[in-house]
Structure formats: C-alpha cells, structure tokens
C-alpha cells in the first residue's frame, strides 16, 4: 500500500475533464472544411490527450510542416471558441476535490494544454477553482514529460515531491511523475489507445475511476 499523499496533482484532459468530444468536433470541423472524411469518437478519443498535434496527425496524414502550422492555428482558434460545448467533469471528480478541501490536502493541475485554453476552460467548472496550482504547457520553458512542471507545482503546494501523487492518463504523465519522484497513478479511464503498452509506463498504481484514489488515501 502506498503512503497517504500530502498533496495531489492531476492532469486535465482525460483525467479531470472529458474534453474529447469538443476536441474531436474541432478536428472534424477542419476535416470537413478540407473535404476529408470525418472521424468517429472511437477513432479520435484515444488521441485527445495528445492535443492539437496528435489529433491533426490522426486526421491529416503526413502533413507538411508549413501546412501543419496553419492547421494548428485553425484548430486552436476554433477550439478556443467552442471549448466547453460537450466537455464535462469525470464522475467522481467533485467528490475527490471536496475530500481534499475537507481534509486540507492541497491539490493542483499540471497540463500540457496551453494557458490561453486552460484558464477559460476551468472557469466552467467551479469545483476546480480551489486548485492551489495550475501549470499549463507554456507556464514554464519545459512541459511534460519533463518533471519541472510537476516540481514547480509542488513548490506552489508547499509539499515535498515524494509526498505527492500525480494522476494522469498518458505515458508522459507517468514519466514526469516518476522523474519528479512523485507517486505515479495511471487513470485508465482516460484517453488510452488499445495499442498502448501501459504496463511499460511504470505507473505505481492504476485506477479505473478517479474516486478510486480515495480508497487508498483513506
């Protein structure tokens, strides 16, 4: 059994928020505009944690760099205008955050989503306003899988890294957590592709729904 955490850090997309529908709808908007076949939820959801780059690579095969830059700008502009049409909290998130508040466990968010998207998205979910640290892709020069964003968040929580659990749904999340000497928790309910070899990600704990972490914390 892991020792109880003194702080919690979470990834955003695929961990706290189910953003796949809005991200996928943006991809399909671009595909339609370029006369290409749209993707189903089953096709695009495993790539939602990989942001604009992963989704565009899914929809547009072998994009030349100059075209990718333009497509990415179009993607981000459309997504920013439609950022919370279908996005929802995962079931159990409110319960976990309320537990943290009740028991004075500091918590925060470390995401590879750019800040100009992260900040407005969070305003739609008041329960997330109690985050004591929010680190986006452009907060620091480094981003996950580099451990520095997690270490910086730990400083803001005023908790030692080895007393923090980091929960995420991607390999880079586990790499960052392990490199930061945090306890790594894989959210298997997130955006994981059937081909992903998650046993090679070296997560220290797997959870099938976010509320499961309370069984270990308690």
Q: At 159, list the tokens.
A: 């908790």
pLDDT tens string 25-83:
999 999 999 999 999 999 999 999 999 999 999 999 888 888 999 999 999 999 999 99
Q: At 60, list the tokens.
A: 């547009």
Active site residues: 11
Q: Place domain 7-18+87-217 in its CATH homologous superfamily.
A: HAD superfamily/HAD-like (3.40.50.1000)
Long-range contacts of 54-62 (CB under 8 A, 24+ apart): 55/23, 55/24, 55/26, 55/27, 56/27, 56/30, 58/27, 59/27, 59/28, 59/30, 59/31, 60/31, 60/34, 60/36
72: exposed, middle or buried (Cβ count in 10 Å: 0-12, 13-18, 19+): middle
Taking the domains of the chain in order of start, what are their residue ranges?
7-18+87-217, 20-81
Of 11, 3, 51, 5, nearest in space to 27 by CA: 51
User: What share of the chain has pLDDT > 90, as a percent?
Assistant: 94
Lowest mean pLDDT among 125-129, 130-134, 193-197: 193-197
């Amino acid at each position: 059994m892991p020792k109880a955490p003194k702080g919690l850090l979470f990834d955003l997309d695929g961990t706290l928020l189910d953003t796949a529908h809005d991200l996928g709808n943006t991809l399909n908007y671009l595909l339609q505009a370029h006369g290409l076949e749209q993707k189903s939820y089953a096709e695009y959801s495993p790539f939602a944690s990989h942001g604009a780059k992963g989704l565009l690579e899914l929809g547009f095969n072998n994009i030349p760099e100059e075209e990718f830059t333009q497509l990415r700008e179009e993607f981000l502009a459309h997504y920013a205008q439609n950022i919370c049409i279908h996005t929802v909290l995962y079931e159990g998130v409110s319960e976990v955050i309320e537990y943290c508040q009740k028991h004075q466990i500091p918590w925060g968010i470390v995401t590879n989503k750019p800040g100009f998207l992260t900040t407005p998205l969070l305003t739609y979910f008041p329960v997330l306003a109690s985050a004591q640290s929010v680190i986006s892709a452009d907060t620091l020069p480094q981003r996950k899988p580099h451990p520095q964003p997690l270490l910086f968040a730990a400083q803001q929580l005023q908790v030692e890294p080895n007393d923090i659990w980091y929960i995420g749904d991607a390999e880079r999340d586990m790499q960052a957590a392990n490199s930061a000497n945090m306890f790594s928790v894989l959210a298997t309910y997130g955006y994981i592709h059937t081909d992903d070899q998650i046993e090679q990600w070296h997560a220290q704990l797997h959870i099938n729904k976010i509320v499961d972490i309370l069984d270990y914390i308690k």
